[in-house]
Structure 1
């Protein structure tokens, strides 16, 4: 009998929550077939079968949180007589189908992994729907919640709106109750630890984005499309090198502050499952263009739930770009155990005074920087954001720093 145990899926992982079994006792499984979905503090991961055999026992219930090393399933390797009987039955069924082709139906691909977010999977499970039977409206093949709602009501007409469908099945998907578990629970635990461990101070500032916008448009005209975020991240890395106290971690147990030599920038990303923070590793060694492409790729895969564990580890400083959502200000919570986090808010057009004392229309962005007051002081935070602003407001300075 082979035990399938919860192993360390990512660095530092100690436990996981069983959220869904993909097999049941008595099922025959093949090597590498997905068996169970487990929620860690950062992602939903699948554990696969290490061998072919028959599932004999499932000792852990869905919803239980277990430690690494816990046995989740027991598999009888090979399966002996039962597998031979299954093979015989399948052979007989194939013969019958050949004799009577009218009885043949396209089989479901039992082991196919359907692209869908965890919340979409939950809706399907709550309503006993097999996601493989749901037709995806997205060209990528990703099944979305509206596809499940449409399937649930058996709608064939495009005249019925998704909003109408959601309202029609509101009772069935119990909108009055949301399970507090998975990524949402892990986020809550981490945020609570951060807020009650770190004495937060939030510093607000404004940055004149006018010249950076002009540079971006010039690049676009020449055929180079680079996001504003890529410039901001590069300017942050340069500023962190000048103020390494914000690229640090407090080690209270040993009474020391660890100044990190690597510059791994976390990108706070909003997904259906909750807040995910993919990481651009060694951002100081990458060009603005490379940062642009990597950030775009990481963000997309975070939203699609396709990130690997190492892509969400070891961040030294986190960025939250909430401006596109319309945010005008906030007091962000630090991504523990980091020392600081910076949030970029909405950029507004407003009257400003230029170098010639003329009143012109400029693009002004508000930022908020939360930092650990045990590690750094307010004056240092102001100097840090001043340095950052100087690189953004005078983009040629940013270019010079990279030579």
Structure 2
């Protein structure tokens, strides 16, 4: 018997939530076949089968939080079966009372259903058994469209049946659901936030940035069929500022009493999803062009929304940003630092405001507030002000940013 356990899938993970089993007791599985989906604070991962065999038992129910090393299910292989058989043969037979013979039972081997974790997630949310769907993808793989077509056909069937029935439970009391399960990613987010907030002495600096020239420059680029998001400019300006203030691209090692200045700029972007907050990471921003950053933000955001991020996508960050402007947040916030990083910057909604110019005239400018939280153990307030001023200079004069890239 082989015990399949939860193993550490990255960055010192200590626990995970059992989301969904992809097999059931009695199923025959192959090597590396996905057995169960588990969710950490960063991603949904699959635990593969270590060998070919038959599922003998499932020990942990769906929805339960388990620690690394916990046995999730048991697998019987041909090798373990032969070992048990030989052990019985080495013992003398024991006389037993004759039993009534019954017809031998036959076991059907379940054919493996090919579908991505995201497709399985859609099916689970709608209560669909994937075994009832014929896949149209390569090698019979079930696609998202297959699930949606099946749901549509079921709905049409239900509409026809509903016309022949009379509902008699109109006066039945409706069940009230006021409780929201506190588990999965929400529980992991809470744990991470609590640890960061009570470990790091947070200090937040607020600044106002004029983005008028940046928005004009973006419009000029569009005339040449070049579309670069404002977020991409923010990330690049941030990277250029980190070159001058590397103390904010660092990690504090309290155990060895040393501050590690990171050479690479791996910028995490906070993304709001149906499952909760997730932070995919854009690697080596210091070496990427604006267009490359734009494409990477778009790619990672889409993967986050579809719950398809890999471990590589969500690890290794050195600085995090949160663009809450599109959500309507225009004044400010006190963002919580993504430990073990030492700083996080939030961008708020751009708004037209009256501003006094250098010529003492009133002008309407497009302004944006930023909030930067930093670890006061690692940096002082003066450094935070200088850093945000450097960032603002690049944003307010976008062509200076291009000069840095020459």
- Shared fold (TM-score, shorter chain, > 0.5): yes
Distance 1:171 1:384, change over 3 A: farther
Q: How far has the Cα of 1:351 moved from its partner? A: 2.0
Count of residues in correspondence between the two structures: 362
1:150 to partner: Cα distance: 11
Distance 1:375 1:171 in 2: 55
Q: Which moved more, 1:51-60 or 1:314-323?
A: 51-60
Aligned to 1:384: 387
Structure 1 residue 178 and structure 2 residue 177: aligned? no
Is the alpha carbon distance of 1:399 and 1:2 closer, same or farther for their aligned partners in structure 2, counting shifts above 3 Å?
A: same
C-alpha distance in structure 2 between counterparts of 1:155 and 1:258, whole Å: 61
**TM-score with structure 2 length normalisation?**
0.80
In 2, the alpha carbon distance for the partners of 1:27 and 1:303 equals 32
Query: Shift of residue 155 of structure 1?
Result: 5.4
Q: Report what 2:3 is aligned to.
A: 3
CA distance in 2 between counterparts of 1:220 and 1:9 reads: 43
Partner Cα separation in structure 2 for residue 152 and residue 26 of structure 1: 32
In structure 1, the partner of 2:355 is 352
Match of 2:372 among 369, 372, 382: 369
Following superposition, the deviation at residue 142 of structure 1 comes to: 9.0
Equivalent positions of 1:126-145 (< 5 A) are 129-130=128-129, 141=145
> Which whole-Å CA distance do the structure 1 matches of 2:387 and 2:123 have between them?
44
Q: Distance in 1 between matches of 2:10 and 2:151?
A: 31
Residue 171 of structure 1, CA deviation: 5.7
For residues 11 and 197 of structure 1, do their structure 2 counterparts lie closer, same or farther at Cα, with a shift above 3 Å needed? closer
Distance, in Å, in 2 between the alignment partners of 1:398 and 1:239 is 10
| C-alpha contact 2:123 2:147 (8 A) present in aligned 1 | no
Within 2, Cα distance between the matches of 1:151 and 1:205? 54
Aligned partner of 1:104 in structure 2 is none
CA–CA separation in structure 2 for the residues paired with 1:15 and 1:53? 27
Q: CA deviation at 1:285?
A: 0.9
Q: Which residue number corresponds to residue 41 of structure 1?
A: 41
Verify the 8 A CA contact 1:34 1:111 in the aligned structure 2. Answer: no
> Structure 1 residues 352 and 246 mapped into 2: Cα distance closer, same or farther (>3 Å)?
same
Q: Which residue of 1 aligns with 2:68?
A: 68
Q: Radius of gyration: which is bigger?
A: 2
Task: State how far apart, in whole Å, the 2-side matches of 1:259 and 1:121 are.
Answer: 45
Q: Normalising by the residue count of structure 1, what TM-score does the alignment of the two structures yield? A: 0.80
Query: 2 CA distance for matches of 1:389 and 1:302?
Result: 29
Q: Determine the structure 2 residue equivalent to 1:166.
A: none
User: Counterparts of 1:201 and 1:319 in 2: how far apart (Å)?
Assistant: 16
Change (3 A) 1:25 1:216: same
Deviations 1:83-140 (A, max 9, x none): x9868x68xxxxxxxxxxxxxxxx997443463586x66644xxx54367699xxx96
Distance in 1 (CA, whole Å) between partners of 2:123 and 2:382 is: 48
Task: Please say if residues 134 and 151 of structure 1, whose CA atoms lie closer than 8 Å, have aligned partners that are also in contact.
Answer: no
Deviates more, 1:12-21 or 1:343-352: 12-21
In structure 2, which of residues 326, 329, 343 is the aligned counterpart of residue 327 of structure 1?
329
Alignment of 1:139-158 (within 5 A): 141=145, 156=159
Judging changes above 3 Å, is the alpha-carbon distance between structure 1 residues 16 and 171 closer, same or farther for their aligned structure 2 residues?
farther
For 1:217 and 1:9, how far apart are their aligned partners in 2? 44
Question: 2:16 and 2:52 mapped to 1: Cα distance?
Answer: 25
Aligned-residue offset at 1:260? 1.3
* Contact in 2 for aligned 1:264/1:316 (Cα 8 Å): yes
